[in-house]
Amino acid sequence: MKRERILKLPTFAITRTYITLPIVVTLLIGIYSCLAQQGDLLAPEATVAEAALPFRDIPVLKEAFINVAPTDRKDGIPVGELGIDGGNKGMVLKLSQEIADKKYGNFDSFLIVYKGKLLFESYYLRGRIDLPHPQASATKAYTSLLLGRAIQLGYLTMADLDKPLVSFLKDLDPTKFVKGTELVTLHKALTMSTGIRIPNEQWEEFEKNPERIKGQKQVQAILEHSAPITPASQHFLYGTGPGLVMQVLNAVVPGSAKDFIKNELLDKMGITNYIWLTQPSGLPEAGWRTSITSRDMVKWGILTMNRGKWNGEQLVPEAYIAKAISPILYTGDDDVFGGGKDVSNQGYGYFWWNADLKSGSQSFYSSSAQGGGGQYIILVEELDLMIVVTAHDRYNSTLQLTAERILPAFME
């Protein structure tokens, strides 16, 4: 059974003075906190050999790393101490121990930011503080903010969100499009309601002939082979939106989307340790196949919580952020990723999910970036609270855990 590092500290002095168990635990937590503040407890880092391995081959940690006073790594993330700067330390530590004991599946990291400060940081299994973790569909949320950055710089406007998506792509032959193509706007792409329907067999054909989908030919192929697009077909359906958004981004910014991602957001936020793969079109991936560290996930969350500001600079328009994390569509509560009895009113904004989280007699609106396997950036603005989780191979209940176990620790 894995234990917090505080339980591994020397106990001989405690035994001789016959201190009761509750006091022992309190003392150990205090000692642990002091050591963590001084940086004496080092978060697990990937070895050179581990960093070269595919994620699934990363060896699991022998013990969990649990830190109630995260180290200031001079990475742009303010830090504090759980319990001193907010939060119920005992409640969070109890949950983190249960996570370490794998009660809730395969967590790799669990971090909490409260009132702008990182107060709690923990790593488990394949988690390392410096190892980029696969993001899966959380990538979509980053793509959304990239489009917002293009709006902030004037390459697009908020009004452009309601224009036909093809109006931004000049290398297309509209005479071959299916009917209804003009109904596909950036807004529809960002909300996964394009109305585009491509048979699986056709996608397989595209994969067999990658030259047919290089560059803007990807959009041409999609709009030639989709079923006709109608207002009735434009309902929420997980699908082709992210790739279309990346196509527009690549078309409107100077240079390439790849350079824009690096220069205009990642570099500005000090995100240098990442993997951002390329899709068959030759453009950067937009919906998955990126990897970043848990602390860099915190940075994306801070940017969003601060309504598009980073270190005082407006990187993404406040109006765009407000739209992105709002409940534009109601997606239903029948299949809530990470949900449970206290999670309801699931909706979708611009590649950001949202839901109400019930804790006791209160309900809190949350927005979140979500990725398969258990990746989350959960924002609860009313409490000025952010939860970051990475995991693998989980049938997870992270939103339910947030409602049931984390929110109460910050409601007092």
pLDDT tens digit string along 63-79?
A: 999 999 999 999 999 99
User: In this structure, what is the dihedral angle of CA atoms 266, 189, 357, 90, given to the nearest 10 degrees?
Assistant: -20
Q: Which of 243, 260, 288 is the last residue of a domain?
A: 288
Q: What is the pLDDT of residue 390?
A: 98
What confidence tens digit (pLDDT) does each residue in 277-295 have? 999 999 999 999 999 999 9
Under DSSP, is residue 364 helix (H, G, I), strand (E, B) or coil?
strand
Q: Does the pLDDT value for residue 9 go beyond 50?
A: no
Residue among 156, 80, 164, 153 at smallest CA distance from 118 = 80
Instruction: Please tell me whether residues 255 and 300 are part of one structural domain.
Output: no
Do 81 and 142 belong together in one domain?
A: no
The yes-or-no verdict on residue 373 having pLDDT over 90 is yes
Q: Give yes or no for residue 396 having a pLDDT over 90.
A: no
Same domain for 41 and 164: no
Show the tokens assigned to 170. Answer: 């000049």
pLDDT at 378: 98
Task: Work out the number of other CB atoms within 10 angstroms of the CB of residue 238.
Answer: 12
Report the CATH number that the domain containing residue 129 is assigned in CATH: 3.40.710
Among 288, 316, 333, give the residue marking a domain's end.
288
Burial class (CB in 10 A: 0-12, 13-18, 19+), 38: exposed
Model pLDDT for residues 188-244, shown as the tens digit of each residue: 999 999 999 999 899 888 888 889 999 999 999 999 999 999 999 999 998 889 999
Q: d(Cα 163, Cα 11) in Å, to the nearest integer?
A: 68
CA atoms within 13 A on the CB side of 224: 16
Q: Looking at the structure, do residues 379 and 297 belong to the same domain, yes or no?
A: yes
pLDDT band at 394, cuts 50/70/90? confident
Question: 101: number of CA atoms within 13 Å, CB side?
Answer: 10
Same domain, 376 and 363: yes
Do residues 258 and 168 both lie within one domain?
yes
257, 288, 319 — which closes off a domain? Answer: 288
Average pLDDT value for residue range 21-33: 44
Residues 145 and 209 in one domain: yes
| Confidence at residue 240, expressed as pLDDT on a 0 to 100 scale | 83
State whether 246 and 301 are in the same domain.
no
Closest CA to 137 of 8, 52, 243: 243
SS3 359: strand
What single DSSP character describes residue 59? P
Q: Is the pLDDT of residue 58 over 50?
A: yes
Task: Please check whether residues 336 and 319 belong to one and the same domain.
Answer: yes
Could you tell me whether strands 133-134 and 290-292 are parallel, antiparallel, or unpaired per DSSP bridges?
Answer: antiparallel
6 pLDDT higher than 60:
no
Alpha-carbon distance 364 to 359, whole Å?
8
Q: In this predicted model, which residue has the larger pLDDT, 270 or 18?
A: 270
Q: How far apart are the C-alpha atoms of 29 and 67, rounded to whole Å? A: 10
Q: What residues form DSSP beta bridges with 277?
A: none
**Is 335:348 a contact under the CB 8 Å cutoff?**
no
Helical packing angle, 241-252 and 217-225, nearest 10°: 140
- State whether 226 and 329 are in the same domain: no
pLDDT of residue 4: 33
- CATH code for the domain of 205: 3.40.710.10
As a whole number of angstroms, the distance between CA 248 and CA 213 comes to 15
Residue (of 361, 358, 335) closest to 348 by Cα position: 335
- Whether residue 256 sits in one domain with residue 170: yes
Query: What's the confidence (pLDDT) of residue 385?
Result: 98
- As a dihedral over the C-alpha atoms of residue 271, residue 275, residue 56, residue 76, rounded to 10 degrees, the angle is 0
Range of the domain at 253: 138-273+280-288
Q: Return d(Cα 371, Cα 387) in angstroms, integer.
A: 14
Share of the chain above pLDDT 90, in %: 85
| Count of domains forming the chain | 2
Query: Average model confidence (pLDDT) for the chain?
Result: 91
Run of H or E including 313 = strand 313-314
What percent of the chain shows pLDDT beyond 70? 90
The structure tokens listed for 205 are: 């054909």
Question: What residues are paired with 347 via a beta bridge?
Answer: 330, 354
pLDDT tops 60 at residue 37: no
pTM above 0.85, yes or no: yes
| For residues 143-151, average pLDDT | 98
Report the C-alpha gap between 76 and 296 in whole angstroms.
Answer: 10
Per-residue pLDDT at 11 exceeds 70: no
For residues 330 and 267, state if they share a domain. no
